[in-house]
Chains A and B, each alone.
Chain A
Amino acid sequence: MGFDRRDFFKTMCVAGITLAAGKSFGEATSGKEPVEFQGMLYDSTRCLGCRACERVCAKAHNLPEPQDELKAGVLRKTSETQRSVINNFITSKGEVFARKSCMHCNEPACTAACLTEAMYKTKEGPVIWRGEKCMGCRYCMVSCPFDVPKFEFHSNNPKIQKCDLCYDRIKEGKLPACAEACPGDALTFGTRRELIAEARKRIFENPKDYVNQIYGEEVAGGTGLLYLAPAPFSELGFNPKLQTSSYPALTKGFLYSVPSVDVLLPPLLLAIYEATKTNQKDEDNE
């Protein structure tokens, strides 16, 4: 009987390994196309500050058209009614426009935070929000180092508002609404690899026009949105304290300890329980 059972397990194991191996071989040979993240390059030196991008963004996502004025030195923020903003900063290089929207990180803190995968990094690159999954806990907002997700605090059916890089348009092969509308060619849509190459080229060809940094190449483990600017990014409303490694990496140690503790602690506790219980019986017998 025992022998049979052992044989049975052996067979199961072999079958299991074959299945598992077979599957991984299958995946390797089926040759999935490597998908590259797409992103957008914002070149501050080309931005006219016309805010066409803001208006088409509002229109594309059924949000009210922004009415407030753009003034030099007055910071405007993205909000639950405005997914992207243009600001005019007074810097050491004079007045400089800078845009702010979701950075579409390679390893987003918001998607790592989301317990229902409502905040989701698509394989194409954009980070999107899926309302049918979201429970409105706002942990994405707590976690995002760029403070991007915005919550409709004054709604009884609140949504998270954030730039989704016009994911629906991208899937149809169109450009994001802002990139299409930009008259100054300040917004370039493409794969992240191409955009970095393009940004390098621009810095190389016109070194005097730019600081020698592509913001987004390294910050937070790399982002889908890339920035070129004539002035240091710390003067353009970017937080200089942010780390270059990814934010989800900060929780890795804890997450890895969870299965270990869940598996190892119960037998240890059971062992202590059994050990103290035996002592107890001995005492009673005495």
Chain B
Amino acid sequence: MNNKPQPNYRDNEGTPYFSFFLSELKPKGKIFTLFNVISVPVILLGIALIILRFWKGLGAITNLSQDVPWGLWIGFDVVTGVAFAGGAYVLTFMVYILNMKKYKSIVRVTVLNGFLAYAFYTGALLLDLGRPWNVVNPIIGNNFGASSVLFLVAWHFLLYMLAELFEFSPAIAEWLGARKAARILSGLTVGAVILGITLSSLHQSGLGALYLMCKDKIHPLWYSEFLPILFLVSSVFAGLSMVIFEGSISQKVFNDQISAEHRKEHDNVVHGLSKVCALAMFAYLFLQFLVFIHGEHWELLNTGMGHWFLLEMLGFVLVPMILFFYSYRKYNLMAVRIAAILTMIGIILNRLNVTVIGFRWDAAVRYVPSWMEIVVTFAVIFTELWIFRWIVRRMPVLRNSPVWAQESGH
């Protein structure tokens, strides 16, 4: 502990905003880290592929077909990414609505993560749009396709991103030393949180509702009328598992940002979240069980897809659920972290099973993403992590707010 790095990151005190901002643009931290060495080439390659995609069309770099018009970019980047971003609405509900102070120390980083996930993964959606110059049409009313699930999802996405920006904005104001703005923006937080939770509940379920019309295209073990509610419930533990996972990495990577007090709290926070995960997963598994019984698909269980379904449900829902329950009785944080990773794999499997693997499972030619689709996906994730790191190293996200902000907060 004695060689703990000095906190060399400070919030602005009195410097004009713009010159402070310029001084903050300089890179901080080492340049040749493992992450940078891997991510920079991937991002550059990704940019080249994106140029190719806009020049030659989607078919140039994707394996999408007339039968499978949505692939990895929708199934993973958007549908899975948004589930993982669900931690923000769950945590803001716990901290601001239920007034659980214990979790306050991780709210900002979770909201930031959520906001960036939305910004980037729905940004990645633009790459997937064939005619992206028309993307504003459902916003400006050319036309309002109000009977479309996608229309509602789009609007709820957009408004939620605004709500999250408001939730996070006090951190920006504190960083810039804008005291008045920080006070005003903090006053908006609860309103933004209430709207944010409402919007989240609808677009998390809305992503499932998108596939309601694909009754004949999705494998019957994954298709049901309950897709929206299943997506909503699973987003609770998907988001929290991501919070646990991201937290255990941040504790190490951004060590210098975190006060000793917060570090001590963190184990407690993780332990608390494991209880929420355990119970949410129990509810989810029970719901899946009911859906399965009502679907009367017993005969499908002993097929290839049936085994795959059982692997998802037992290996990546039941097992991590038991681990979560076990760890919260025994206070075993290692078990929580393993459970979180298993849960995340389970969520990836589930979302891909609905959107890609189980979609047109009976087609003669199956869709398998091209390496270029995968590279672009990684490029998007890496760029997001770059921005995330840039912000965390500068703004009071993991570290405490400046003293003046803490005082006015009470």
Contacts and interface: CB of A to CB of B under 8 A. Distances in A.
B143 A116 contact: yes
A273 interface: yes
Given A114-B148, A137-B150, A251 B57 contact: no
Contacts of A242: 216
Interface residues on B, range: 35 or more
A262 interface: yes
Given A142-B69, A147-B66, A269-B197, A133 B130 contact: no
Given A158-B130, A255-B149, A79 B66 contact: yes
B193 to A, nearest CB: 8
A18 interface: no
Nearest to A116: B137
A174 interface: no
Contact of A158 (B57, B197, B209, B211): B57
Given A139-B150, A269-B198, A117 B99 contact: no
A179 B212 CA distance: 35
Contacts of B137: 116, 118, 133, 135
Given A116-B145, A133-B137, A135-B135, A153 B64 contact: yes
B70 A138 contact: yes
Interface string B216-250: 11000000010010000000000000000000000
Contact of B59 (A154, A241, A261): A154
A115 interface: yes
Interface stretch (A8-16, A22-30, A188-196, A275-283): A275-283
B96 A273 contact: yes
Contact of B213 (A112, A133, A262): A112
Given A136-B129, A151-B130, A254-B212, A113 B149 contact: yes
A122 interface: no
Contacts of B93: 269
Contacts of B330: none
B78 to A, nearest CB: 11
Interface string B151-190: 1101000000000000000000000000000000000001
Contact of B195 (A77, A147, A156, A266): A266
Given A113-B149, A153-B57, A269 B194 contact: yes
Contacts of B210: 139, 142
Contact of A138 (B69, B148, B190): B69
A217 B388 CA distance: 56
B138 A273 contact: no
A251 B209 contact: yes
Contacts of A143: 213-214
Contacts of B57: 152-156, 158
A273 to B, nearest CB: 5
A1 interface: no
A276 B98 contact: yes
A250 B216 contact: no
Contacts of A109: 213
Nearest to B142: A133
Contacts, number: 170
Interface residues of A, number: 59
Given A135-B135, A139-B210, A280 B99 contact: yes
A35 interface: no
A221 interface: no
A96 B183 CA distance: 76
B147 interface: yes
For A137, A143, A255, the residue with the greatest tally of chain B CB atoms inside 10 Å of its CB is A137
A180 interface: no
A211 interface: no
Given A138-B69, A142-B214, A114 B59 contact: no
Contacts of A255: 147, 149, 152, 209
B205 interface: yes
A269 B97 contact: yes
Given A116-B145, A279-B99, A254 B131 contact: no
A141 interface: yes
Contacts of A113: 148-150, 213
B143 A251 contact: no
A217 B211 CA distance: 25
A134 interface: yes
Contacts of A147: 66-67
Given A133-B134, A276-B99, A277-B99, A115 B151 contact: yes
Interface string A101-132: 00000000101111111100000000000011
B32 interface: no
B97 A253 contact: no
A135 B386 CA distance: 29
Interface string B83-107: 0000000000100111100000000
B131 A157 contact: yes
A97 interface: no
When A and B form their complex, which 3 residue pairs have the shortest distance between CB atoms, in order from nearest? Answer: A136-B130, A153-B59, A136-B131
18 contacts: A113-B150, A114-B145, A116-B143, A135-B137, A137-B150, A139-B210, A141-B66, A150-B66, A153-B64, A153-B65, A154-B57, A154-B60, A156-B56, A158-B131, A253-B225, A261-B198, A273-B96, A273-B190
Interface of B: 54-60, 62, 64-67, 69-70, 93, 96-99, 128-132, 134-135, 137-138, 142-145, 147-152, 154, 190, 193-195, 197-198, 201-202, 205-206, 209-217, 225, 228
Interface of A: 77, 79-80, 109, 111-118, 131-139, 141-143, 145, 147, 150-158, 239, 241-243, 247-248, 250-251, 253-255, 258, 261-262, 265-266, 269-270, 272-273, 276-277, 279-280
